[in-house]
Amino acid sequence: MLAEEKPLSLQARSAIGYAEIIDYLAGKETLEKAVEKIKINTRRFAKAQRTWFKTFKNVNWLNVSEDNTVEHVLAKVV
């Protein structure tokens, strides 16, 4: 992937997961440290998304769990 003729774009290289694994493959980090950084960066990104979503005031959010069927979710929407 990194040695391909058309390497990853700068944006792709900085994506969560890619950046940390690239550092691991380059010998800059241990695998354990890279995995820990992925977890931390994912949590930070999720928090930023939650904060951003709070800015949408005219939205009716649905509480859906993974055991809800499509039909159950559709009934909530309708």
Domain residue spans in the chain? 10-77
What is the predicted pLDDT for the residue at 23? 94
Which is nearest to 37 in space by CA: 49, 20, 23, 25? 20
What is the predicted pLDDT for the residue at 1? 58
Is 0.95 surpassed by the pTM of this model?
A: no
Compute the distance between CA of residue 39 and CA of residue 21 in angstroms, rounded to an integer: 12
What architecture is domain 10-77?
Orthogonal Bundle (1.10)
CA–CA distances in Å: residue 19 to residues 39, 43, 44, 64: 12, 15, 15, 32
What is the predicted pLDDT for the residue at 15? 93
Segments in the chain below pLDDT 70:
1-2, 4-5
Which two three-digit tokens encode residue 14?
């900085």
What is the predicted pLDDT for the residue at 2? 66
CA–CA distances in Å: residue 76 to residues 29, 57, 66, 71: 46, 19, 15, 9
What is the predicted pLDDT for the residue at 61? 85
What is the predicted pLDDT for the residue at 78? 87
